[in-house]
């Protein structure tokens, strides 16, 4: 994260005086963490009357002329400037855009006014148009301040606690939980007991739950991109079934465990915060083979070889039937898990992944995602689960034959990955 420098081209420098001398941004400038230079567009006016704008061709209000803007831009010394024009026609400013700007060395903000600026300047000089929302302001000065403020707080040391910024990215894409301060009772309203209890775990759980409920009720549109794992307090389990599964003739069979599935699925589970990877096979010889593989990597890790692999394989737990695995989860969680079967074929009653994501967040119950090997889970399983997930579709052609380890990775990313 390296923006230290902003340059603002504006016909109204007065706008910025309080902003640049107040609170967190003011302090960041004083401490040299960011640099903000204000360039007065009127210094580059066309004539001695200080003209910077003219009537719009085709009728309308005033438009800022390209030449004063160009001269102002030229006056700013920079090797690697990124030029931003705040305008209602731009891409919407989101935290992703803020993060992208924070990675630049030097951001130049061009403030329009009146009807806007000459389009030829935009074409020639602007890298990105940014809108701060679907409404129209009188000029680009407030949006420029919004951008500087949001980018600055990502620069190390600008906001008080480093954790505040880290939290932003960890709890990505969800709304914040409610905050309270003294007094503990105000106007007859108590601060929630969870916050005054002094029990940190309870406080953290309550906060995550409030954030989840707020996001669900106020901004469900955020859910497709949100990483919801930190908001779930119960265990997440991935189950890989080798019996009962179908073969290509739709007969119920027992498939063979593969090393690739063990390695790759446990790595995916580790990456997305799954608590245990449950491998189901009724064949003792196959379970013994799994234990040999995990023990081998455990030993290898102790000898300093690829500890990350044994960390992931540590998630593996074998069972000889689905029923035993579910009983084990129930004992561990003291609650029956919400069981979701997956399939590559369309099934009546199957639900879209976004609906399941919402359900997972709403219920905050232990979750078990069940994946079948070979030609998929046997029919009998679908009658025993709480939900069936729609197949993952590539959206191209008829072919739909992902490996089970790819399907697990895609599903985990949909539910728990943030983007
Ligand atoms: N200029 C005027 N309105 C604006 C908006 N909503 N976002 C960015 N710049 C603007």
Please report whether residue 400 resides in a domain. Answer: yes
What's the 36 CA to ligand 1 centre distance in angstroms?
A: 20
Q: Which pair of tokens denotes residue 81?
A: 């400037």
Is the shortest distance between the CB of 86 and ligand 1 below 6 Å? yes
| Domain limit, last residue, from 174, 209, 226 | 226
Give me ligand 1 centre to Cα 13, in Å.
17
Does the C-beta of 140 come closer than 6 Å to ligand 1? yes
Annotated catalytic residue: which of 115, 127, 288, 362? 115
Q: What angle is formed at CA 272 by the lines to CA 209 and CA 296, rounded to 5 degrees?
A: 135
Residues 249 and 368 in one domain: yes
Q: How far apart are CA 267 and CA 277, in angstroms?
A: 10
- Residue 51 and residue 95: Cα distance in Å, rounded? 37
Domain that holds residue 143: 4-162
Q: Does ligand 1 have an atom closer than 6 angstroms to the CB of 136?
A: yes
Task: State the pLDDT at residue 162.
Answer: 61
Q: List pLDDT tens digits, range 168-221.
A: 766 789 999 999 999 999 999 999 999 999 999 999 999 999 999 999 999 999
Mutate to test the pocket of ligand 1, among 8, 10, 87, 134 (most ligand atoms within 8 A of CB): 87
**Residue closest by Cα to atom 7 of ligand 1:** 131
Q: Is the CB of 135 under 6 A from ligand 1?
A: yes
Tens of pLDDT, residue by residue over 70-83, are: 999 999 989 889 99
Please count the other Cβ atoms lying within 10 Å of the Cβ belonging to residue 80.
Answer: 8
Does residue 221 sit in the same domain as residue 241?
no
* Best residue for ligand 1 mutational test, from 11, 91, 131, 148 (most atoms within 8 Å of Cβ): 131
Q: How far is CA 184 from CA 196, 201, 271, 299, 325, in A?
A: 8, 20, 40, 54, 46
Ligand 1 near 143 CB (within 6 A): yes
Whether 180 is in a domain gets the answer no
Q: How far is residue 278's CA from residue 290's CA, in Å, rounded to a whole number?
A: 11
| Active-site annotation holder among 86, 141, 153, 364 | 153
Write down the pLDDT at residue 4.
78
Catalytic pick among 99, 149, 168, 386: 168
**Which pLDDT value is given to residue 172?**
80
User: What pTM does this model have?
Assistant: 0.90
Phi, psi of 140 (to 5 degrees): -90, 5
Is 371 contained in some domain? yes
Ligand 1 centroid to residue 127 C-alpha, Å? 16
Q: What is the pLDDT of residue 307?
A: 86
What gap in Å lies between CA 309 and CA 301, rounded to an integer? 8
Q: How is residue 251 annotated by DSSP?
A: -
Ligand 1, closest atom to CA 134?
6
Active site residue 115: yes
116 lines ligand 1 (CB under 6 A): no
Q: How many angstroms is it from 326 CA to the middle of ligand 1?
A: 54
What 8-state DSSP symbol labels residue 58? T
Pair (222, 239) in one structural domain:
no
Tell me the CA–centroid distance for residue 298 and ligand 1, in Å: 57
Distance between CA atoms of residues 102 and 104, nearest Å: 5
- Considering the domain architecture, whether residues 387 and 289 belong to the same structural domain is answered as yes
Same domain, 238 and 293: yes
What is the count of structural domains for the chain?
3
- Taking the C-alpha atoms of residue 84 and residue 93, their distance in angstroms, rounded to an integer, is 12
Q: Is residue 267 situated within a structural domain?
A: yes
CA of 97 relative to ligand 1 center, distance in Å: 15
How far lies 406's CA from each of 347, 367, 378, 392, in Å? 20, 20, 20, 10
- The reply to whether 207 and 151 lie within a common domain is no
Cα 79–chain centre separation: 32
Same domain for 148 and 191, yes or no, is no
Active site residue 156: no
Q: Is the Cβ atom of 131 under 6 angstroms away from ligand 1?
A: yes
The response to whether residue 137 sits with its C-beta less than 6 Å from ligand 1 reads yes
Q: What is the pLDDT of residue 372?
A: 98
User: How many angstroms separate the Cα of 314 from the Cα of each of 267, 307, 319?
Assistant: 10, 11, 15
Q: Is 15 a member of any domain? A: yes
Catalytic site residue 230?
Answer: no
Q: What is the CATH number of the domain that holds 146?
A: 3.40.1280.10
Tell me if 132 CB under 6 Å of ligand 1: yes
Cα–Cα distance, 280 to 321 (Å, whole number): 6
For ligand 1, the distance from its centroid to the CA atom of residue 166, given in whole angstroms, is: 29
Q: Which candidate, 92, 81, 61, places its Cα nearest to that of 3? A: 81
Note whether 294 and 248 are same-domain residues.
yes
Residue by residue, pLDDT tens for the chain (419 residues) are 555 799 999 999 999 999 999 999 999 999 999 999 999 999 999 899 999 999 999 999 999 999 999 999 999 989 889 999 999 999 999 999 999 999 999 999 999 988 899 999 999 999 999 999 999 999 999 999 999 999 999 999 999 766 667 667 667 899 999 999 999 999 999 999 999 999 999 999 999 999 999 999 999 999 999 999 999 999 999 999 999 999 999 999 999 999 999 999 999 999 999 999 999 999 999 999 999 999 999 999 888 888 898 999 999 999 999 999 999 999 999 999 999 999 999 999 999 999 999 999 999 999 999 999 999 999 999 999 999 999 999 989 888 889 999 999 999 999 999 88
* Predicted local confidence at residue 275, as pLDDT: 98
Residue whose CA is at the smallest distance from ligand 1 atom 2: 137
């Amino acid at each position: 994260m390296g923006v230290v420098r902003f340059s603002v081209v504006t016909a109204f420098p007065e706008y910025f005086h309080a902003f640049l001398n107040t609170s967190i941004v003011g302090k960041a400038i004083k401490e040299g963490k960011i640099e903000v230079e204000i360039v007065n567009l009127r210094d580059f006016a066309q004539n001695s009357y200080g003209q910077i704008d003219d009537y719009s061709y085709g009728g309308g209000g005033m438009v800022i002329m390209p030449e004063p803007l160009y001269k102002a831009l030229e006056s700013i010394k920079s090797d690697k400037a990124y030029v931003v024009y705040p305008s209602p026609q731009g891409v919407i400013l989101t935290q992703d855009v803020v993060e992208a700007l924070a990675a630049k060395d030097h951001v130049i903000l061009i403030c329009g006014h009146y009807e806007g600026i000459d389009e030829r300047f935009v074409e020639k000089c602007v890298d990105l148009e940014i809108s701060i929302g679907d409404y129209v302001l009188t000029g680009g000065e407030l949006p420029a301040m919004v951008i500087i403020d949001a980018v600055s707080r990502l620069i190390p040391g600008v906001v008080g606690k480093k954790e505040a910024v880290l939290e932003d990215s960890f709890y990505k894409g969800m709304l914040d939980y409610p905050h309270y301060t003294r007094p503990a009772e105000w106007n007859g309203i108590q601060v929630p007991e969870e916050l005054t209890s002094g029990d940190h775990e309870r406080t953290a759980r309550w906060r995550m739950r409030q954030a989840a409920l707020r996001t669900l009720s106020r901004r469900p549109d955020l859910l497709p991109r949100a990483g919801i794992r930190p908001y779930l307090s119960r265990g997440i389990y991935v189950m890989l079934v080798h019996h009962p599964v179908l073969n290509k003739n739709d007969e119920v069979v027992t498939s063979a465990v593969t090393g690739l599935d063990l390695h790759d699925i446990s790595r995916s589970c580790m990456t997305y915060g799954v608590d245990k990877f449950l491998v189901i096979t009724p064949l003792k010889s196959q379970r013994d083979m799994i234990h040999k593989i995990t023990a081998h990597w455990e030993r290898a890790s102790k000898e300093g070889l690829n500890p990350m692999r044994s960390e992931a394989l540590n998630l593996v737990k074998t069972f000889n039937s689905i029923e035993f695995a579910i009983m084990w989860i129930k004992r561990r969680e003291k609650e029956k898990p919400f069981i979701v079967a997956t399939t590559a074929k369309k099934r009546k009653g199957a639900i879209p992944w976004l609906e399941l994501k919402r359900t997972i967040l709403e219920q905050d119950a232990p979750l078990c995602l069940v994946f079948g090997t070979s030609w998929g889970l046997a029919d009998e399983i679908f009658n025993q689960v709480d939900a069936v997930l729609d197949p993952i579709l590539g959206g191209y052609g008829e072919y739909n034959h992902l490996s089970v380890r790819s399907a697990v990775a895609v599903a985990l990313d949909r539910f728990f990955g943030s983007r």
